[in-house]
Amino acid sequence: MFSISTLFDVVRIPPSLFGTTLKKAAINILKEKYESMINADLGYIIMILDAKVNEMGKMIAGDGGTFHRVEFEALTFYPKLQEIVQGEIVDITDFGAFVRIGPTDALLHLSQVMDDYLKSDVKSGMILANQSGRTLKVGSQLRARITAVSLGKAAAMGKIGITCRQPFLGADEWIAEEIKKSESSAKPAKVEAS
C-alpha cells in the first residue's frame, strides 16, 4: 500500500551548500539518505516530497557544517499481507515469475499460479498451463494477493510472495472470463406460463 509518511531527522548541511536555500539543501541530503531505502517499519521509501527545516541550527567544534532538525514527508510503499495488488510480469524463471508491484518485484511461484499442471518455458518467457491452455508471459498484467512479506534486516532487498490461486485473481483476461461466467450463471432463467 502506498502512503505518505511524516518522518523526523537531523541533517548536516555542509559548507559547500551554504549558498542554496536551507530547504533545498536539506531535501537533497534527505533524498541521498532515504530514497530507495527499505525500512522494516515503513517499507520501501520511494521519494522525499517536502521538508520543514528548523532555521536555527547547531554547530560542532571542528566541523564546518550546521545541523538542523527536519520534519519531512516521504512517499512509501509497504506491502501488507492479504492485500490485493495489480502488477506486471517482468521475468519468467524455472520456478515461476517475478511480478512488478509498486517499486519492487514479488515472486509468483508456479504452485501459486493456478490449479493446473504448469510448465515454465524460460527461453520464450512463458508459463503454460496443460489443461486450460492459459498462458502468462513477460508483460502480462495480473491481479494477485500478497501471501508473504519479509522486509527485515535479513532481506536486504525485501522478499514478497504472491498468489493467483483464488477466484478473480490472475491475468486480466482470466478475470474477465470469470466475470462473464458468473454473470451468465446469475441471470434468472425465463419461465413460461402455461
Residue 190 inside a domain? The answer is no
DSSP alpha helix (H) spans, 12-61: 22-34
What is the C-alpha separation between 129 and 139, in angstroms, rounded?
A: 17
**Domain ranges, residue 33:** 2-77
Q: Tens digits of per-residue pLDDT, 132-162?
A: 888 899 999 999 999 999 886 544 567 899 9
Q: Tens digits of per-residue pLDDT, 161-178?
A: 999 988 889 898 888 888
49 versus 189: the higher-pLDDT residue is: 49
Residue 143 inside a domain? The answer is yes
Residues 26, 114, single domain; the answer is: no
Residues 101, 44, single domain; the answer is: no
Predicted confidence (pLDDT) at residue 114 exceeds the cutoff of 50: yes
Q: Among 51, 45, 92, which residue's Cα sits nearest to residue 73?
A: 51
Cβ neighbors of 170 (< 8 A, separation 6 or more) are 113, 114, 142, 143, 144, 164
Of 29, 45, 77, the domain-final residue: 77
**Count of beta carbons in the 10 Å neighbourhood of residue 182:** 11
Average pLDDT, the chain: 88
Cell 446469475 belongs to: 186
**Count of beta carbons in the 10 Å neighbourhood of residue 130:** 10
The CATH number covering residue 131 comes to 2.40.50.140
What is the C-alpha separation between 163 and 147, in angstroms, rounded?
A: 7
Mean pLDDT of 7-34: 92
Predicted confidence (pLDDT) at residue 30 exceeds the cutoff of 70: yes
How many folded domains does the chain comprise? 2
Predicted structure pTM score: 0.76
